Amino acid sequence: MDLQDFIQQGEGQEEDKIVAWNLFQQAYEAQMKGRLEEAVQLYKQSLEAFPTAEAYTFLGWTYSFMGQLNEAIEECQRAITLDPDFGNPYNDIGAYLIELNQLDEAIPWFEKAMEAKRYESPAFPHMNLGRVYERKGQWDDAIESYKQAVTLNPDYTQAKKAMMRLLTLLN
């Protein structure tokens, strides 16, 4: 997403959106540098200036880095409430549920992510669904999910390796 996309979202003053965008960028930079507490505060400030599904989702992602998965899920649910077409928070909730070893609960979240109208990385939920099926011992379903991920993104090395690993194990 760039500033133009950000400005076009929802109702609000353009100035508020620009402030929110700048805070979002600062938060992301802090997050990538491992300054997680700072990132949390900056994402919250961005949300106060102008709430977006992206800021809620990235705040959740930051919480997940901190091991606060329940808080991460809550922020993703806020993102979905704000923009049900945005795919990332559905996938992220599913990924957090995998970490909580709630495999069956994760599946519908990946399915919703696959159906999302706005999602820049549609291969991710297929990969994550493959991880669920693999952990459950459903090898054929896992291979099919990995294959879908590779079809959507032929450069998705992790999905290719997962698919080849399972195919090798089954032969």
Identify the pLDDT of residue 14: 80
For residues 57 and 88, is the Cβ–Cβ distance under 8 A?
A: yes
pLDDT band at 15 (very low <50, low <70, confident <90, very high): confident
Query: Residue 101's CB: how many other CB atoms inside 10 A?
Result: 9
Query: Quick one: how far is CA 102 from the chain centroid?
Result: 17
Identify the pLDDT of residue 6: 52
Biggest CA-to-CA distance, the chain: 60
Q: Report how far apart, in Å, the C-alpha atoms of 119 and of each of 2, 112, 151, 170 are.
A: 14, 11, 16, 33
Indicate the CATH number of 13-119 among 3.10.20.80, 1.25.40.10, 1.20.120.430, 1.10.1740.10: 1.25.40.10
**Any residues with CB less than 8 A from the CB of 55 and at least 6 apart, and which?**
20, 24, 27, 43, 46, 47
Q: How many Å apart are CA 167 and CA 150, to the nearest integer?
A: 14
Is the pLDDT at 154 greater than 90, yes or no? yes
Strand-pairing partners, residue 118, are 86
Query: Residue 84's CB: how many other CB atoms inside 10 A?
Result: 15
Identify the pLDDT of residue 5: 58
Mean pLDDT along residues 164-169:
95
Mean pLDDT along residues 129-157:
97
Mean pLDDT along residues 55-67:
97
- Domain definitions of the chain by residue range: 13-119, 121-171
Identify the pLDDT of residue 8: 55
CATH number, domain 121-171:
1.25.40.10
What is the per-residue DSSP string for 56-91?
HHHHHHHHHHTT-HHHHHHHHHHHHHH-TTB-HHHH
Identify the pLDDT of residue 16: 85
In percent, the amount of the chain with pLDDT more than 70 equals 93
* pLDDT per position as a tens digit, 98-116: 999 999 999 999 999 999 9
Identical fold for domains 13-119 and 121-171, yes or no, is yes
Share the mean pLDDT of the chain. Answer: 93
Is the pLDDT at 11 greater than 70, yes or no? no
Mean pLDDT along residues 139-146:
98
Q: How many Å apart are CA 113 and CA 123, to the nearest integer?
A: 10
Mean pLDDT along residues 70-76:
98
